[in-house]
Amino acid sequence: MTASAAVTAGYTLAAGPVRAEVITTDTSGLNAGDAKVKVADGEMPVYFARPASASNPPVVLVAMEIFGLHQYIKDVTRRLAKLGVLAVAPDYYFRKGTDLTKISEIKDLLPIVNAKPDAELLSDLDATVAWAKSQGGDTSRLGIVGFCRGGRNVWEYAAHNAGLKAGVAFYGPLIDPPNPVWPKSPTQLAPDMKAPVLGLYGEADTGIPVASVEAMKAALAEHKKTAEFKIYPGAPHGFHADYRPSYRQEAAEDAWAQMQAWFKKYGVLS
């Protein structure tokens, strides 16, 4: 996706204006904060939140957008913890040494995030799971939720980790532009899916045509993979991102409920 197409599709930078009605979730009853996870070539920053009283909570990875580990993603992590899980959001772009939340031009952001190899991404997510287990998380009840590029990463991880119970992809791109460090797009990985995934998409998302969602649905069905999709009429890209003008409350709240039901159905949430 070009910078101009990204802007048209609603890829609003985290550094831009924030809606006055942004959702804020407190830490009451939670332990939350920053930590470091050991990865192959250093220490990756993560933000985590968990119920203060739970000794062995299920684990949910939060795969962030391309805009860095900003307040919206941290808030989503706290919202998940309020559901009884150890939620962890890894900052998997940390190696670039740039605070993505401070970048004000999409053309400056895309070259950084598009250089992230899938192999490194999957290793980073595996390391996050291992860290969560070391913190007392029950990784036999492992889920992943992701937004935008993070939604794509949900599909990628579902094809990678046989230990994953379920994934939920919020408007994750299904077809990649040519990129040597991304060997296969989610649609190409349809035969390899190892966990059930729920895909939540906006009908008015100009970056992810409904036709590509239908193609993914057909590919998964052909290979007898478990997945469901919900397409929200009139909803644009980023409809769950409450800090952006793209936010659509009705779709966002329904999608959050759908996510919870999916995780309950497949044993992530009790």
Active site residue 99: no
Active site residue 176: no
Dist CA 23 CA 36 (whole Å): 26
Active site residue 148: yes
Q: What is the DSSP string of the chain?
A: --HHHHHHHT---TTS---TT------TTEEEEEEEEEETTEEEEEEEEEETT-SS-EEEEEE--TT-S-HHHHHHHHHHHTTT-EEEEE-TTGGG---GGG---HHHHHHHHTT--HHHHHHHHHHHHHHHHHTT-EEEEEEEEEETHHHHHHHHHHTT-TT--EEEEES--SSPPS-TT----TTTTGGG--S-EEEEEETT-SSS-HHHHHHHHHHHHHTT--EEEEEETT--TTTT-TTSTT--HHHHHHHHHHHHHHHHHTTS--
Q: Which of 70, 91, 176, 237 is catalytic?
A: 237
Q: Which of 176, 205, 240, 242 is catalytic?
A: 205
Q: Which of 148, 176, 240, 242 is catalytic?
A: 148
Which residues are annotated as catalytic? Answer: 148, 205, 237
